[in-house]
Amino acid sequence: MRKAIDGAGDLKLSDAQRLEYLKQAFFAPGNDPSVWLGGWHPETHEAEGHARNTTPVDDYFTAGTAPILDLQGEKDAVAPRRFSQVLRNMLGDRVTVVVLANAGHAMAREQPKAMADAISTFAKRVNQ
């Protein structure tokens, strides 16, 4: 998976190879990954990769004391469904899990309305 994540933003690779990596890592089957061929910033991609490769996994899970919205793509290959309850099990009722149908890791591009609705609903509930 890391090879696909890193390769998706590697501008030295062919578009065809990058499309395959985008499909593997970020997009649910049937969704068009070509929308992510442009707009990559190599320095940002490298910094994100460095952070991902050097940050202990447990550091991702502390999250202070704030309520957490855990948006999950139904077909997410980066954060597969088998891990869907990890945050909820660790942090309890602070975590609200919402699964977006027909979405991979690129859910903002694949299901923008469903994502916006989930965020809006969560924000309204938290700010009551």
Nearest to 42 by CA among 10, 67, 80, 88: 10
Q: What is the pLDDT of residues 29-79, one digit of tens each?
A: 999 999 999 988 888 889 988 988 898 877 777 667 889 999 999 999 998
Distance CA 8, CA 65 (A): 34
pLDDT of residue 34: 95
Sign of CA pseudo-dihedral 86, 92, 95, 96 = positive
pLDDT, position 27: 96
Average pLDDT over the chain, rounded to whole?
91
Q: Per the structure, how many domains does the chain have? A: 1
85-90 contact pairs (CB < 8 A, 24+): 86/61, 87/61, 87/63, 90/61
Per-residue pLDDT at 56? 85
For 104-115, the DSSP string reads -TTHHHHSHHHH
- Evaluate if residue 113 carries a pLDDT over 90: yes
User: Two tokens at 124?
Assistant: 């309204």
Q: What is the pLDDT of residue 63?
A: 62
pTM: 0.78
Q: For the residues 80-85, what does the mean pLDDT come to?
A: 84
pLDDT exceeds cutoff 90 at 108 = yes
Domain that holds residue 103: 2-126
Residue 16 to residue 37: CA distance in whole angstroms: 10
Instruction: Give CA–CA dist 112/23, Å, rounded.
Output: 18
Residue 61, domain CATH: 3.40.50.1820
Residue 83 to residue 43: CA distance in whole angstroms: 29
% of the chain residues with pLDDT over 90: 63
Where is pLDDT greater, at 44 or 103? 103
